[in-house]
Structure 1
Amino acid sequence: MPAAGKLVLSITPVFANLSGIKMGTRTVSNEYIVTTVPFFLNPRQTVRIIPQNIAVATQVIGLNYGVTKDFAMVLTAGMIEKNLNALTFKGASGILPLGRSLPGTTSLADVTLSGVYRIYQDDVHRIQLSLGVSLPAGSYTATFKDFLLPDGTRRNIRGFYGMQPGTGTFDFLPGVVYAGYLGPWSWGLGYRGRFPLAANSLGYSWDYLLEYRLRFPLGPNPSGGYRWGDLHEFNAWGGYTWTPGLTTTLRVTGSTQGPIRGFDPEIRGPAVPANPAFYGGQRVEVFGGATISGKFIGYENVLVAVEAGLPVYQNLNGPQIMKNWQAGMSLRFKI
């Protein structure tokens, strides 16, 4: 946490890649999906469009200001870009591939504002609590241009839920961290959550879907619109300082998230990611990283942090495209 009256500016690019499809913990083929998985708006037809690869790039700027010695405010904003490679199968049935679409979306990311309070600290241990909110600055109506459909035509359609840069909702962001260090060793445990406070302004409620006899396990959403499932993320890490200003780290993170609740009628078509039930699940990832002080090159107030990792366990509500890897860095300036 910055000292009272001090500011830390961070620039954090993060890159991730997703490919391959899982149903639960089982990896399945494209052919299996298009012959067995029903299209949720028309259960008599199978899905015909399957994502093959998604590349995600985010650029986040953060401001962390020390209000007092034990309380800080953190503001983040940035841009997010997503690029999709989707395979379309011909007609209403069969396993004949028709072609691919390569759409992308880009926009501002949702803005977050949080307060962090240090409730305890001694020579070894510290505990911090955080409460924040995510503000819907990102687009959630982004469009795919010239997207290939199973009948062979290309149209402009609304991007799938997972390809939208923003959520359209105000989200509650609680968190708690315990951390400690002794000599060259450091360690910690953390939790953070993301809970949409209400559905966004798009789409229909569960009651509307029942009226049209569309049944899939999303749960009630009486306010209309849709919202992402509640997210819980747990982290545990350890670090070793080889020399003052150079620390390497190992982090394990586990997350669980529910499916999307509600439905956007403009996100349609017999595609796997058009089904709001095919989002969320459980994931465990392992990351290795390092923090390097700028003092090695003559800049005491600069810190560089790098980290990369991959999943070791995924149990997804699916069929759903699975995560392959994630890598990022953070350049921090103390002002």
Structure 2
Amino acid sequence: MKKFAFAGAMIASCTLASPALAHDVRADDHAPIGVSADHTHKKGEIMFSLRYMHMEMSGNQIGTDSISNDAIVTTIPNRFAGMPMQPPTLRLVPQSMSKDMVMLGAMYSPADWITLVAMLPYSERESIITTYAGPTGTTVLGDFQTNPKGIGDISAGAIFPLLGQKPATSDTGTELNLRAVVGMPTGSTDETAQTLSPMNMQMTMTMPYGMQSGSGTWDLKPALTLKQWAGRWSFGAQYAGTIRTGTNDNGYRLGDVHEGSLWASYLPAQWISLSGRVRAQSAGKIDGLNPNVMGPVQTANPDFSGGERVDLLGGVNFVATHGPLAGHRLGIEIGAPVYQNVNGPQMTGDWMLTVGWQKAF
């Protein structure tokens, strides 16, 4: 974070002498950094971006209600009960998970009516799970940790400007953009980890669905983004979806995801904008079952997936208007859920952070 703070200070030092409102670029020309596919480019322009995203999860819920570890291991049935070495109830309980992702992006506009886009993600996850001893009871045996990492599903496609592009010399305008992107099954769905069983045995198991870096399917990723500028204020709305096609080689399909965002930004000066955003998300259940994912843990049951959530986020955008960093952009956005309704038991989110750099040529 010190590096990002230094970068923000450098951008500020290159912009303090600029006028109050722009004659070329504004910090709010781009949406908050947590919003993707919000803008297009003019013919011949290229833009590179690098985003870092961090997310923390802890605790468990069923619906909107919290549930304790002891309640999970004594009352929630094990889907695989009756199979060899499978107890009647869940015996492994996730305690926390963190996820770090780096997303490399590129955009190129061969013509004013189309901007090509591509995104390459790399993620690392860390999960801590508590194992309870034996087939019943509330005696804790111990904890273990899993740390999957790898390249995720690469996305590529295009963004089309449906309604105008705000003139660089104007402080008012409206844009409407359509994203048509496909997610390719380049991420792994077969990662394994060492686990601690209720019988105190170290076992190598295929990790559950949410700990894999890929979906295993070709996914459609449409988005529709509306932005409007009015002096120092700007506003935006976006729908973004992830629609799975078919079933992957392991016999399942992740749930579709539908997400809507509304935001407002204020421009104190040309080089900086402050934003507030509300995001609502609905995720479907996993369809199917990976026969290699089996165990007395909630994350192995596809029925315990999906749900709804609402997040509130605040952000800041910087843009250097002249000097050695002219055209470089830095965005920061941090937020937390205010509503979560899950098909539980599931772990729930605590907070998330996105920091990103962008530069067009």
Same fold (TM over 0.5): yes
How far apart in 1 are the matches of 2:322 and 2:65? 47
**What is residue 246 of structure 1 aligned with on the other side?**
272
Residues 225-247 of structure 1: CA distance to partner in whole angstroms, max 9, x if unpaired?
10111110000000001100100
1:249 positional shift: 0.6
Residues 62-118 of structure 1: CA distance to partner in whole angstroms, max 9, x if unpaired?
001112223101100021111110001111111111101111100101101121111
How far apart in 2 are the matches of 1:6 and 1:97? 58
How far apart in 2 are the matches of 1:49 and 1:138? 26
Gaps of 5+ in 2: 1-39, 167-171
2:116 to 73, 81, 104: 73
The alignment status of 1:193 with 2:241, answered yes or no, reads: yes
Is this contact kept in 2: 1:62–1:75, CA < 8 A?
yes
The alignment status of 1:39 with 2:68, answered yes or no, reads: no
Gaps of 5+ in 1: 203-224
C-alpha spacing 1:116/1:155, structure 2 compared with 1 (3 Å): same
Q: Normalization by structure 1: what TM-score?
A: 0.91
After superposition, where does 1:170-249 map in structure 2 within 5 Å? 170-202=218-250, 225-249=251-275
CA RMSD in angstroms, aligned pairs only: 1.2
SS at match of 1:102: strand
1:124 positional shift: 2.1
After superposition, where does 1:126-165 map in structure 2 within 5 Å? 126-145=175-194, 147-165=195-213
* Greater RCO (Cα-Cα under 8 Å, separation 6 or more): 2
**What is residue 344 of structure 2 aligned with on the other side?**
318
Q: Normalization by structure 2: what TM-score?
A: 0.84
C-alpha spacing 1:291/1:297, structure 2 compared with 1 (3 Å): farther
SS at match of 1:34: helix
1:296 positional shift: 7.0
Identity of aligned residues (%): 29
**What is residue 217 of structure 2 aligned with on the other side?**
169
SS at match of 1:39: coil
Residues 13-70 of structure 1: CA distance to partner in whole angstroms, max 9, x if unpaired?
1000110001000011001111110001227700000100001000110001112223
Structure (1 or 2) with the greater strand fraction: 1
**What is residue 160 of structure 2 aligned with on the other side?**
117
**What is residue 129 of structure 2 aligned with on the other side?**
86
**What is residue 59 of structure 2 aligned with on the other side?**
20
How far apart in 1 are the matches of 2:315 and 2:299? 32
